[in-house]
């Protein structure tokens, strides 16, 4: 495995100001992920998992600290730079899938390619290739509400992969799935990692995820640390 660092953070803080006071969602998070690794981040509800992924994806800015993703210093990027990062470097699979209900499976997967101004023919072949890859051939015209949870999750994965990102960020990808579909989704991550060398960060409560990751971290009250597989199992 190549030991190049692809995600690096140092002393990341995120503080939300609410009418009821300040919430410190991240409190000095420092960690790194090597290219080609799959890592798991486990932690209870409200511990800061989604906040961390949003910062890595350039959707939120930290209040303090450094973030470097595939060589880009996120603090140095303006809004256009962050949009470029989201379109080409990072693929985020949100906790609720984030699919657009009015669009078909095909159109949902095509959307990031449209935004990146990929020419039509190239877009078409890429979308068809991805639909086959996730095993949904024949469902191109279906809308999200006609799909099962596992199928929606796979469409969200295909959409996140459309611009061949270096880093895939998956927020609770098995939370709403039964055992069989959860395993299918985790196998798909393993396959993506093998086929494209994509670095994958999976945030989860689910102990099954531990069988699919190279390293695990636990986050509690906004504080992250690396743990052994046994310790991660205890905290899932
Ligand atoms: N936009 C926001 N405004 C105010 N507080 C927020 C906001 N987003 C998150 N928080 C707070 O920050 C803390 C961390 O939230 P976050 O969504 O990162 O947790 P999480 O670990 O993903 O939880 P879950 O497992 O339930 O998805 C929580 O206390 C949450 O209420
Ligand atoms: Mg969350």
Instruction: Determine the distance separating the centroid of ligand 1 and the alpha carbon of 47, expressed in angstroms.
Output: 7
Q: Could you give the CA distance from residue 47 to residue 182 in angstroms, rounded to a whole number?
A: 23
219 Cα nearest atom in ligand 1: 21
Q: Could you give the CA distance from residue 84 to residue 1 in angstroms, rounded to a whole number?
A: 27
CA dihedral 62, 66, 68, 71 (to 10 degrees): 130
Q: Could you give the CA distance from residue 60 to residue 78 in angstroms, rounded to a whole number?
A: 12
Is 3's C-beta closer than 6 angstroms to any atom of ligand 1? Answer: no
The pLDDT of residue 3 is 66
Instruction: Determine the distance separating the centroid of ligand 2 and the alpha carbon of 34, expressed in angstroms.
Output: 23
Question: From edge to edge, which strands make up the β-sheet containing 21-34?
Answer: 21-34, 5-18, 64-69, 72-73
Q: For tokens 């973030």, what's the residue?
A: 67
* Integer angstrom CA distances of residue 148 from 91, 139, 204: 22, 12, 20
The pLDDT of residue 202 is 98
Q: What are residue 4's phi and psi, to 5 degrees?
A: -65, 135
Residue of 14, 49, 170 with the most ligand 1 atoms within 8 Å of its CB, for mutation: 49
The pLDDT of residue 1 is 44
Q: What are residue 222's phi and psi, to 5 degrees?
A: 80, 5
Instruction: Determine the distance separating the centroid of ligand 1 and the alpha carbon of 117, expressed in angstroms.
Output: 33
The number of residues in the chain equals 236
Is 47's C-beta closer than 6 angstroms to any atom of ligand 1? Answer: yes
The pLDDT of residue 198 is 97
The pLDDT of residue 236 is 57
Lookup: tokens for 55: 């910062």
Domain of residue 72 covers 5-235
- E-assigned strands of the chain? 5-18, 21-34, 38-42, 64-69, 72-73, 90-93, 167-171, 199-204, 215-220, 223-227
Q: Are 101 and 143 in contact (CB under 8 A)?
A: yes
Q: Which residues of the chain are modeled with pLDDT < 70?
A: 1-3, 235-236
Is 45's C-beta closer than 6 angstroms to any atom of ligand 1? Answer: yes
* pLDDT single digits (tens) 62-108: 999 999 999 999 999 999 999 999 999 999 999 899 999 999 999 99
Is 153's C-beta closer than 6 angstroms to any atom of ligand 1? Answer: no
CATH number at residue 57: 3.40.50.300
Total domain count for the chain? Answer: 1
Is 94's C-beta closer than 6 angstroms to any atom of ligand 1? Answer: no
Lookup: tokens for 133: 């890859």
Is 25's C-beta closer than 6 angstroms to any atom of ligand 1? Answer: yes
The pLDDT of residue 38 is 98
The pLDDT of residue 169 is 98
180 Cβ neighbours under 8 A, 6+ residues apart:
none
Is 139's C-beta closer than 6 angstroms to any atom of ligand 1? Answer: no
Is 159's C-beta closer than 6 angstroms to any atom of ligand 1? Answer: no
């Amino acid at each position: 495995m190549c030991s190049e660092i692809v995600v690096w953070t140092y002393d990341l803080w995120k503080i939300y100001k609410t009418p009821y006071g300040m919430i410190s969602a991240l409190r000095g998070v420092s960690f790194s992920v090597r290219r080609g690794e799959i890592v798991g981040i486990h932690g209870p509800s409200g511990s800061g998992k989604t906040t961390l992924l949003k910062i890595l994806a350039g959707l939120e800015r930290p209040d303090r600290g450094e973030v470097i993703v595939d060589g880009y210093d996120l603090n140095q990027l303006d809004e256009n730079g962050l949009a470029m990062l989201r379109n080409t470097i990072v693929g985020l699979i949100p906790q609720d899938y984030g699919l657009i209900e009015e669009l078909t499976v095909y159109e949902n997967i095509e959307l990031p390619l449209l935004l990146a101004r990929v020419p039509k023919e190239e877009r078409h072949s890429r979308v068809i290739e991805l639909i086959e890859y996730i095993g949904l051939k024949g469902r191109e015209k279906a809308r999200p509400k006609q799909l099962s949870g596992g199928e929606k999750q796979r469409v969200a994965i295909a959409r996140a992969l459309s611009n061949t990102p270096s880093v895939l960020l998956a927020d609770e990808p098995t939370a709403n799935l039964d055992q069989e579909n959860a395993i299918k989704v985790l196998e798909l991550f393993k396959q993506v990692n093998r086929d494209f060398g994509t670095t994958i960060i999976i945030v989860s409560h689910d102990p099954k995820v531990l069988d699919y990751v190279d390293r695990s971290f636990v986050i509690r009250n906004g504080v992250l640390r690396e743990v052994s597989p046994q310790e991660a199992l205890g905290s899932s």
